[in-house]
Amino acid sequence: MRTRFVFATFLILSVGTIRAVFAGETEPVKTGEVVVTASRIEEPASSAASSVTVITRREIEERQYRTVFDALRDVTGVDLVRNGGPGTLSQVFLRGAKSEHTLVLVDGVEVNDPVSAGRSFNFAALSLANVERIEVLRGPQSTLYGSDSMGGVINVITRKGKGPLSGDVSVEAGSFNTFRERLGLSGGTGKAHYALGLDRLDSAGISAAGEKYGNTEKDGARNTSYSGRAGYKLSDRADAEIVLRGHEARTEIDAKAGAGGDDPNRVATSRMFSALVRGNLAARDWWNQALSIGRVESRSTDHDDFDAAHPSTWLDSRFEGRLTKADWQNTLFLGQAHTVVGGVEWEQEGANSEYRSLSSFGPYNTRFDDRTARTWGIYAQERWTPSQALQVTAGIRRDDHDRFGGATSGKVGGSVLAPGTGTRLRASWGTGFKAPSLYQLYSQYGSESLQPEKSASYEVGVRQPLAGPAGWVDLAYFRSRFRNLIGYDFGTSKYVNTGRAKSSGAELEAGYKPASFLSLVARGTVLDAKDETTGERLIRRARNRASLLATILASPDVSVTASLARVGKREDTDFSTYPSTRVALPAYTLVNLSGEWRATKSVSLFGRVENLTDKEYEEIKGYGTPGRAFFAGVSGRF
């Protein structure tokens, strides 16, 4: 590992010579505030009817995010929890909704895992290799995206190459015996474009079970991620593109949370591969068509042999999921004011798993034989823009599932710019649904009579410029009701539709640039999320959270970013007691610091400190979190 690190460092320091061989340097894609997730076509984020946050490539580099999960920590309305250190189970909650209510896309490829119990997505291994920007769209989006998007959509978009061949490479090392290497290549001509990314992580990690409970054994992780995107312009009206992405990861985990959780030889592995082929055709000046076919395959294992600490415990499990999806989208430009987006989707998902274990309670075996489900969907949404000051959208969708039947969802919204003030008001109302997962339908704990979960939500918001283009503030209030929620009934040992929940809250985003060398961004969320059946708060959702980021350009070649994040009280479940009890996790504040020095035109040195004050905290009861950590590295462009 160290040999590879030293070699990569030498390569970067020689990048000035390499640069002379290649002409030009790829310019970053200037996305600004343009998003594609809100309406499936490009539009300014400020005019969207739903709240959206865009994390740009520049922000990723300035703040030295290393995974998509890290980048989401500073986003309004998002709660994140992880079962320990790098590589362990990492979940995201949008506006109080379940983690499986967030649809995750990578360049339009749906990557929610069909084999997981709730069909959620585990962010543990999703790196930022080749990523250009991340769009986080909050609120129900079932009208355009179907199931799994009741809480919102997170769309990870990779970079599109342009110009002569160029590249970037970086290496870093730091606390917990961590090493990371990254390589990117991109380029393009008038007709073709390509971009490749490779990311490797090796870390000795921390104890997944919290050290404060007496756990000392470190749980390491390694992950290799790759990404590729290439396209070709077939004619003035047609082009085609292929997008590939995947990872292979190995993570050491512990037996449980809390005291006695250490397990020296329990290992989880995961492997994922996704591919998308997409073609675009401008059939007429007023009619664009896009046909895409995507495929995702995942496989994970969890294995634990007998050991001195657990002489009677053994387990072996495997999980396999796959998803094939086709989408035919049509965009009609009906005059200058009307744009209609409509299409047809078809998807087929499949999954199987097996779990075997031995313990002091005896043997336990369960097998989920391979099952599949198919869904057809048809959707349409019109965007009416009579002027730059007014935008109104309305859409409807119908999905047909081969098990539970049909579900209809709709959404209306709009935004208006107040004359002479720069104030833009927005409002939206929409419904959402989530189909039962394969496991919830067909496993030994499942029920084929399950119906889809449903929601109804609305939000109102306002965006106001401050001091001209130098500042802005965005406020939003939202309220959501969920019904038919699927939960596990311990009396019947079956999944049932009995749950009801509600969430409401307010979000704040503000930015200001008081001087050419200083930019500030502040974000805050107040959330009230409750189970309507029990009246208790939903676990692992903070009542309030806030963050402040300051970026200082000390000179044209030196920049420093400081961030402060405050996470309020949350409730969780303590499984170390029998029966389990609810506990309150205390609030905490984290401070991070990062900096970069551009030593030459091609080479930069960077470093960061995470958890500067060495704060002890918990995201999940009984699981560990990193203390103060230092990282440094070198990057180069050629």
31, pLDDT greater than 80: no
For residue 124, give the nearest of 216, 227, 228, 247 by alpha carbon: 247
Where residue 47 falls among pLDDT bands split at 50, 70, 90?
Answer: confident
175, pLDDT greater than 60: yes
pTM beyond 0.85, yes or no? yes
Where residue 439 falls among pLDDT bands split at 50, 70, 90?
Answer: very high
Instruction: Give me the percent of the chain exceeding a pLDDT of 70.
Output: 95
Q: For 295, how many CA atoms within 13 A lie in the half-sphere containing its CB? A: 5
Q: How far is Cα of residue 99 from the mean position of the Cα atoms in its chain?
A: 11
Q: What is the rounded CA–CA span in Å between residue 530 and residue 501?
A: 6
Which CATH superfamily includes the segment(s) 2-637?
TonB-dependent receptor, beta-barrel domain (2.40.170.20)
Q: What is the rounded CA–CA span in Å between residue 27 and residue 159?
A: 11
Question: What pLDDT does residue 505 have?
Answer: 97
Question: What pLDDT does residue 28 have?
Answer: 33
Residue range 410-414: average pLDDT? 95
Do the beta carbons of residue 511 and residue 59 sit within 8 Å? no
Question: What pLDDT does residue 469 have?
Answer: 66
Do the beta carbons of residue 393 and residue 381 sit within 8 Å? yes
What lies within 8 Å, CB to CB, of 179 at 6+ separation is 1, 2, 4, 5, 171, 172, 173, 201, 202, 203
Where residue 33 falls among pLDDT bands split at 50, 70, 90?
Answer: low
pLDDT digits (tens, 9 = 90+) for 235-291: 999 999 999 999 999 999 999 999 999 999 999 999 999 999 999 999 999 999 999
Question: What pLDDT does residue 44 have?
Answer: 80
Q: Would you mind telling me the total number of residues written for the chain in this entry?
A: 638
DSSP 76: T
Residue range 588-603: average pLDDT? 96
Where are the chain's structural domains?
Answer: 2-637
pLDDT digits (tens, 9 = 90+) for 216-241: 999 999 999 999 999 999 999 999 99
* 269 residue type, one letter: T
pLDDT digits (tens, 9 = 90+) for 449-499: 999 999 999 999 999 998 766 899 999 999 999 999 999 998 899 999 999
Question: What pLDDT does residue 233 have?
Answer: 96
Residue range 324-338: average pLDDT? 94
Whole-number CA gyration radius for the chain? 24
Question: What pLDDT does residue 8 have?
Answer: 45
Where residue 32 falls among pLDDT bands split at 50, 70, 90?
Answer: very low
DSSP 116-155: STT----GGG-B-TTEEEEEEEES--HHHH-TT-SSEEEE
pLDDT digits (tens, 9 = 90+) for 557-593: 999 999 999 999 999 999 988 889 999 999 999 999 9
Residue range 529-533: average pLDDT? 95
30, pLDDT greater than 80: no
pLDDT digits (tens, 9 = 90+) for 146-158: 999 999 999 999 9
Instruction: Give me the percent of the chain exceeding a pLDDT of 90.
Output: 85
Do the beta carbons of residue 84 and residue 207 sit within 8 Å? yes
What lies within 8 Å, CB to CB, of 566 at 6+ separation is 544, 545, 546, 547, 587, 588, 589
Question: What pLDDT does residue 409 have?
Answer: 96
324, pLDDT greater than 50: yes
Residue range 204-216: average pLDDT? 96
Question: What pLDDT does residue 254 have?
Answer: 96
Residue range 45-72: average pLDDT? 91
Question: What pLDDT does residue 15 have?
Answer: 39
Residue range 512-541: average pLDDT? 94
Residue range 207-214: average pLDDT? 96
Question: What pLDDT does residue 468 have?
Answer: 65
